[in-house]
Structure 1
């Protein structure tokens, strides 16, 4: 059973609250937040953001990838963002996998050989935040004047703990 019909019904209630105000395309706070796809992390609520405040970019592990840098370049150059927050979280699924083990699982279950694909697993969450900040700072598509911060969100308490860099 799909939840899609339930989503459509819930959306009707949301539309009534949303109103018809046209929000501007650039995010009001000029910030992009790079974080994990984990369903336990409601970024807007956790950071006190309203609709239209920030770009929120998500992927497995909240890792900096080529596609995230592409999105951040668009966010900055076309939408005027001037700040990036790298937000990882405790109890992340990316801490539980290895490239080799997950590649084997995909081969066993789907019959697909992913070769040397990097799923960006990590075992040290603080180190992963610092690595991602370093990737952003090293990218020629991220200007030097962009403010980059990092933090770890605790999924048990909701608290966001800053990570100092370097």
Structure 2
């Protein structure tokens, strides 16, 4: 709970400068949803020059669109987003493990627990070995989804953690 103890203190300067942000509407001003990784080194607002209220940002391990579909449907159908930008990044944790390894780590933490073993064995962590290929696959997968309107623009990007630069892949 060390981080939790700092939340109130860290929030004070932000709240003091909050100003008219209470008037921000729920729909993103730029009508874009960004799907990206949960990695703490990524800050889409900072590296894309966005302000609060500009975009809907959906984060998960690896920035995988299959894990973000529910949020994307809500974003498009209820919040009016018309564009999806998928961002993966270099040195992603998803490049450094595989599903069997992670399953074994979890099982080793609960030896003999059949319920834990069954639950973790049911999860595919969708690791990948090539960032650009994972972007291409994600964009293609999303374009094939019947729940995503055909007129939604979908692009794929790589954020380079080594330089802070972004580059479009698709």
Verify same fold: TM over 0.5. Answer: yes
Alpha-carbon shift at residue 87 of structure 1 (Å) = 0.1
Cα separation, partners in 2 of 1:5 and 1:117, compared to 1, 3 Å: closer
Say if 2:86 is the partner of 1:86: yes
Number of aligned positions between the proteins: 163
**TM-score with structure 2 setting the length:** 0.92
User: In structure 2, what is the Cα distance between the partners aligned to 1:94 and 1:77?
Assistant: 30
Per-residue deviation, residues 97-153 of structure 1 (Å, max 9, x unmatched): 111111111111134211242101000111100111111111111111000000100
Report SS of the residue matched to 1:3.
Answer: helix
List, as ranges, runs of 4+ consecutive aligned residues in structure 1 with deviation greater than 3 Å.
Answer: none
Match of 1:139 among 145, 149, 161: 145
Per-residue deviation, residues 65-88 of structure 1 (Å, max 9, x unmatched): 2x5111101100100000000000
Cα separation, partners in 2 of 1:101 and 1:76, compared to 1, 3 Å: same
Per-residue deviation, residues 5-57 of structure 1 (Å, max 9, x unmatched): 32101111101112144101100000000000001111100000000000000
Say if 2:102 is the partner of 1:96: no
> Equivalent residue for 1:33?
34
Calculate the aligned-residue CA RMSD, in Å: 1.2
Q: Which runs of 5+ in 2 are unaligned?
A: none
Q: Which runs of 5+ in 1 are unaligned?
A: none
